[in-house]
Amino acid sequence: MADALFEKVALIGLGLIGSSLGHAMKRANIARHITGHARSKQTRQTALEIGFVDAVFENMTDAVSDADLVILCVPVGICGSICEQISPHLKQGAIVTDVGSVKVAVVAACARHIPSGVHFVPGHPMAGTEFSGPTSGFAELFDNRWCLLTPLLDGDPQATKKMTEYWQACGANVETMTAQHHDVVAAITSHLPHLIAFNIVGTADDLEDVAEREIIKYAAGGFRDFTRIAASDPTMWRDVFIHNKEAVLEVLGRFNEDLASLAKAIKEEDGYKLYEQFERTRHIRQNILDDERKK
Ligand code: NAP
């Protein structure tokens, strides 16, 4: 394994993203040695049995000791406290990154705990499923998906370059942007769609004249897709909404205005407006498919 990108990589958090990274690193020989830490003994044991890590530690400071790369794969709300705990144990020259779905809040919580001589390169792979835990990961999760890096203004360009190589070796395409811009992009492409799914499934469940068994029985097409998204991990998504509050509320405001305008069109039987809107959105779907075909 002479060409491993990193000698030792530590995964803090061994759920969907942590385990997928472990598998992807094994697939491409990215690290000579992968250590892991998770809160529960059960998760640590499962990770070791599956084999996407080489060693697990009950104490996260032991997992990061001597690591060249430390990846935080935990809910965004605890990234700051984890950085604080591991900070004195980080090796000089090491890179610390995260995979959190929110960037401004994670940078604010983590950057101040990163010691000088250690490089912090925040990141977010735009890839996931509704499953969680160490058995849910797979090596192909990041293939052809985007990973967005949000380097700090005074960050080391070499560390960003190395993280770009890392994500490319995991199968992803990489782009860099500011943390602020990332949070708006993620709010409209990922956070709002999840909020809508959580809401629509809840609304259906609350409808008094439609029994739950009817929802299950007749759930087809669109609604079925919403239930899949609405099955996503509650802890992760609670943290995402609380920590990306401003950007989510901003796009939610726009969404509510547009929804009110569609409701008005329905009320007024404005077929032209409805048709025009549906044709526009159908065109966007076509563009996405065309873009995918080019990859
Ligand atoms: P997950 O499957 O629920 O895994 C979370 C992991 O974090 C588990 O191993 C859990 O350990 C560990 N953990 C939780 N609290 C901890 C603590 N206090 N100390 C140490 N370990 C702790 O979550 P995930 O889907 O991989 O998400 C992880 C991160 O990736 C989140 O920040 C999320 O925003 C981001 N992300 C998720 C997706 C997605 O679609 N899921 C996509 C892109 C980015 P136990 O198992 O022992 O509880």
Residue-wise pLDDT for 100-121, tens only, equals 999 999 999 999 999 999 999 9
Which pair of structure tokens corresponds to residue 140?
């192909």
Give residue 231 CA to ligand 1 midpoint distance, Å.
Answer: 15
**CATH number of residue 140's parent domain:** 3.40.50.720
- 192-214 pLDDT, tens per residue? 999 999 999 998 888 877 777 77
Q: Which of 134, 167, 137, 128 is nearest to 150 (CA)?
A: 167
Q: Which amino acid is at 82?
A: I
* Residue 160 and residue 49 in one domain: yes
Q: Which domain holds residue 287?
A: 181-294
Residue nearest to atom 17 of ligand 1 (CA): 39
**What is the number of alpha carbons within 13 Å of residue 164 lying toward its C-beta?**
12
In total, the chain counts a number of residues equal to 295
Residue 168 sits in the same domain as residue 230? no
The tally of domains found in the chain comes to 2
- Taking 50 as the threshold, does the pLDDT of residue 47 lie above it? yes
For ligand 1, atom 38, name the residue with the nearest CA: 128
Helix (H, G, I), strand (E, B) or coil at 264: helix
Can you give the pLDDT at residue 2? 53
pLDDT digits (tens, 9 = 90+) for 217-272: 777 778 888 999 999 999 999 999 999 999 999 999 999 999 999 999 999 999 99
Which ranges of the chain does DSSP label H, i.e. alpha helix? 16-27, 41-50, 60-64, 79-86, 104-110, 157-169, 179-186, 192-206, 212-218, 221-230, 234-243, 245-267, 271-294
User: 141 and 188 in one domain?
Assistant: no
Question: What number does the ligand 1 atom closest to the CA of 42 have?
Answer: 47
- List pocket residues of ligand 1, CB cut-off 6 Å: 13-18, 38-40, 43, 73-76, 78, 99-101, 124-125, 128, 132-133, 233, 236, 240
Residue nearest to atom 20 of ligand 1 (CA): 39
pTM: 0.94
